[in-house]
Structure 1
Amino acid sequence: MTANNQVRLVKNVRIKGIACALPEKVEEVTSLYDSFGADSVNKIIGSTGVERRHVVTQECSSDLCVSAAERLIADLGVDKSSIDTLIFVSQTHDYTLPATACVLQERLGLPMQTAAFDVAMGCSGYVYGLWMASSLLSGGGSRRALLLVGDTISKIVSPADRSVAALFGDAGTATLLDFDPSASDIPFVLGTDGRGALNLVVPAGGYRDRNGSSTHTVEEGVRGPYDLYMNGAEIFAFTLARVPALVTALHEANAATGKDIDKYVFHQANRFMLDHLVKRMKLDREKVVLDVTDVGNTSCASIPLAISLHTGKAGGNLSGRLMLAGFGVGYSWAGCIAEFDNVWISPLTITSASDAEILS
């Protein structure tokens, strides 16, 4: 099986704004000295570029996304009754059922006419969400969509697993998209290779293995069947095999416009991986956004969070031609080139555990 990197062109869609939220609790990577030793932890910091992460206590991804959405709606002065589509992208949903998007519709006070649904995607999830929302808008099935993307991977990471314990942070994001016939076309490239599914997996807890009987990722004293397992070498090999072709396909699609790419915002996996991608693809390093030092790898939230952090925390409008690319768990990859025309970037929101809401 091969990937042909088909370009899917979406018309009449404008990104209006992005907001991001982080939990207030911060964990320094150096706090792992006692677990793994100072030399080992310092090497991890040097390789990944992660020095600290924001992690939840009792909050869920939905809580972080609510904070981001409320901030964005307030900043843009959006009439909530005008939002007719709500998409929630996450691997860490509130419940097995109902769909978290249904709970979010009520919490945000959106109209009952809102179409709301969940999408279970990880590292490529933000771009997949953009593609789904944009396709609905472009096809006339929606006029205004709210895309909520977030994960709390810290909840499924074993603190004894040095391959992931220092890497993942938590975040929630909100993006507002409108139907707009004057907007620039957005080329998307998406792909999937399920042969790599078990290289980044939580094997237990779903209906394939409800009771945690799987042992293929279990390592005594390191992780159990309900913990995240990552085969770093295989993930790295997949990334180098797929992402350059994805970027090439988007560059070719962009060539016809005669416009330059102003910024490359890739999934913020870690510094080591992004540095290798930059070298492999011979990209201008100054154009490639890297923001993992204070937040770590935030899974599906990493692209909008990187955009927000790169813009600054004071709020403001962002313009430019951005290539966005997500890749990882699945295996799955997705990229697009989006024209940011005075897109509002809200100041970063820090949430507290008191913002968590439990369905009663």
Structure 2
Amino acid sequence: MTANNQIRLVKNVRIKGIACALPEKVEEVMSLSESFGAESVNKIIGSTGVERRHVVTEECSSDLCLSAAERLISDLGIDKSSIDTLIFVSQTHDYTLPATACVLQERLGLPMQTAAFDVAMGCSGYVYGLWMAGSLLSGGGSKRALLLVGDTISKIVSPTDRAVAALFGDAGTATLLEFDPSAADIPFVLGTDGRGAQNLVVPAGSYRDRKGHSTQTNEKGVRGPYDLYMNGAEIFAFTLARVPALVTALHEADAESGKAIDKYVFHQANRFMLEHLVKRMKLDRDKVVLDVKDVGNTSCASIPLAISLHTGKAGGQICGRFMLAGFGVGYSWAGCVAEFENVWVSPLTITSTVNAETSL
């Protein structure tokens, strides 16, 4: 076992299904040519692999997750009264308070016995959510958990910041997990290095700097204190420093299974970063899921969305050993190896603004 990566084993937990939702509005990256010039935008597309993104108008992350959850519950034929835990993972919550999970409990019609709470995580958020839901199920505190993971990062991106304007899209996802004594163990690796927090940050708007006095990331004509700031070079260096060790630790933890990994699904940061990781770790490129062309970087939603896009428009059941790994904002990283045994993946849902909840 790699010395710097603790293996956290989750037992008796099965992933039953995944569903994803995108907003109907689509923005072409080439439309940014007026701001940055066609040559510059073509270079951005060539590096990131992103040609277009789905972005919200009035919708929130919760609206997208709601659509995904309703589709998944319907497809699986699940009795809503059997769902006893609801976890909402996002960096773009509806309100400072109450917790968005509480609002979603009511909107979904889940029973009042449901434990519902929010988790503020980004790029590693999906795997963190699997670990939290799985730990509750494994420990006997829950029998069936609904994990809702989504972000609307387009709301906090400055359209004049070439580092991020062409990169981020919006998405919401739903994953159903349940207690099952016959399920294969799931090894997790989790880690944090808060020294990198300043390299991917929105400095103002919450309680550290509510009124936007911060100037640490300001750049006139590019971004202000309420806009997302990303130091791409530092994020890239962090990824190369942490992800290979994460993958190695998971390979070593999974070695006893005697089975090969069928698919690697990493956080879909951008094409350049993922292809660099594949070469550095000498992975079989055919086993690595890479699909950012039409959706961009969707933050915490990117892993389940990549699985959905890889499965295809019609959806269906998938099987195999999947290594999932998220990394980024925080700095934070998380990975696991999950046995997908006839996991249902719903057809991708495209939402409309008419489904948005405008107020309490």
TM range, smaller chain: over 0.9
- SS class of match (1:256): helix
Q: How does 1:203-218 map to 2 (within 5 A)?
A: 203-218=203-218
| Mapped contact 1:148–1:175 kept (Cα < 8 A) | yes
Asked if residue 322 in structure 1 is aligned to residue 350 in structure 2, the reply is no
Question: SS where residue 257 of structure 2 aligns?
Answer: coil
What's the TM-score, normalizing by structure 1?
0.99
Partner residue of 1:45? Answer: 45
CA distance in structure 2 between the aligned counterparts of 1:115 and 1:45, rounded to whole angstroms: 43
Query: Following superposition of structure 1 onto structure 2, how do residues 277-288 of structure 1 map, counting pairs within 5 Å?
Result: 277-288=277-288
Task: Map 1:44-83; keep pairs closer than 5 Å.
Answer: 44-83=44-83
Structure 2 counterpart SS, 1:268: coil
Aligned pairs for 1:205-244 within 5 A = 205-244=205-244
Structure 2, unpaired ranges of 5+: none
Q: 1:3 to 1:169 in 2, by over 3 A?
A: farther
SS at 1:127's partner residue? helix
Alpha-carbon distance in structure 2 between the residues aligned to 1:86 and 1:4: 32
Q: Structure 1 runs of 4+ off > 2 angstroms?
A: none
Q: Does 1:195 align with 2:195?
A: yes
Deviations for 1:46-92, whole angstroms, at most 9, x for unmatched residues? 00000000000000000000000000000000000000000000000
Letter matched to residue 226 of structure 2? Y
Measure, in 2, the Cα distance between the counterparts of 1:3 and 1:49: 35
1:151 matched to 2:170? The reply is no
Residue 78 of structure 1 aligns to a residue in which SS?
Answer: coil
Q: Deviation digits for residues 229-275 of structure 1, max 9, x if unmatched?
A: 00000000000000000000000011111000000000000000001
Shift of 1:3: 7.6
Preserved CA contact (<8 Å) 1:3 1:191 = no
Could you tell me which residue of structure 2 aligns to residue 253 of structure 1? 253
Please give the alpha-carbon distance, in whole angstroms, between the structure 2 residues aligned to 1:3 and 1:61.
Answer: 37
Following superposition, the deviation at residue 359 of structure 1 comes to 2.6
CA distance in 2, matches of 1:340, 1:119: 25
Counterpart CA distance in 2 for 1:116 and 1:350 is 25
Q: Do the aligned partners of 1:191 and 1:334 also contact (CA within 8 Å) in 2?
A: yes
- Within 2, Cα distance between the matches of 1:160 and 1:316? 40
Any idea what the Cα deviations from partners look like across 1:91-131, whole Å, max 9, x if unmatched? Answer: 00000000000000000000000000000000000000000
What is residue 313 of structure 2 aligned with on the other side?
313
Note if contact 1:151-1:298 (Cα within 8 Å) is conserved in structure 2: yes
Contact 1:89/1:121, CA 8 A, preserved across alignment: yes
Distance 1:230 1:316 in 2: 36
Q: Using the alignment, how far apart are the partners of 1:353 and 1:155 within structure 2?
A: 15
1:171 is matched with: 171
**SS where residue 148 of structure 1 aligns?**
strand
2:124 alignment counterpart: 124
Secondary structure at 1:117's aligned position in 2?
strand
2:101 matched residue in structure 1 = 101
TM-aligned CA deviation for residue 313 of structure 1: 1.1
**Partner-residue secondary structure (3-state), 1:34:** helix
How far apart are the structure 2 equivalents of 1:253 and 1:79? 35
- The equivalent of 2:334 in structure 1 is 334
Quick one: which amino acid aligns to residue 22 of structure 2?
L
Q: Shift of the alpha carbon at 1:358?
A: 2.2
Rounded Cα–Cα distance in structure 2 between residues aligned with 1:76 and 1:289: 25
Gaps of 5+ in 1: none
User: The residue matched to 1:33 in structure 2 has which SS?
Assistant: helix
Name the Cα RMSD after superposition. Answer: 0.8
Residue 36 (structure 1) aligns with: 36
- TM norm structure 2: 0.99
Q: Is the 8 A contact 1:88 1:119 kept in 2?
A: yes
The match for 1:268 is: 268
For residue 80 of structure 1, what is the amino acid of its counterpart?
K
Q: Percent identity?
A: 88
User: 1:187: how far off?
Assistant: 0.1
Distance 2:354 2:332 in 1: 34
- The secondary structure found in structure 2 opposite 1:9 is strand
CA distance in 2 between counterparts of 1:343 and 1:65 reads 19
* 1:113 has 2:105 as partner: no
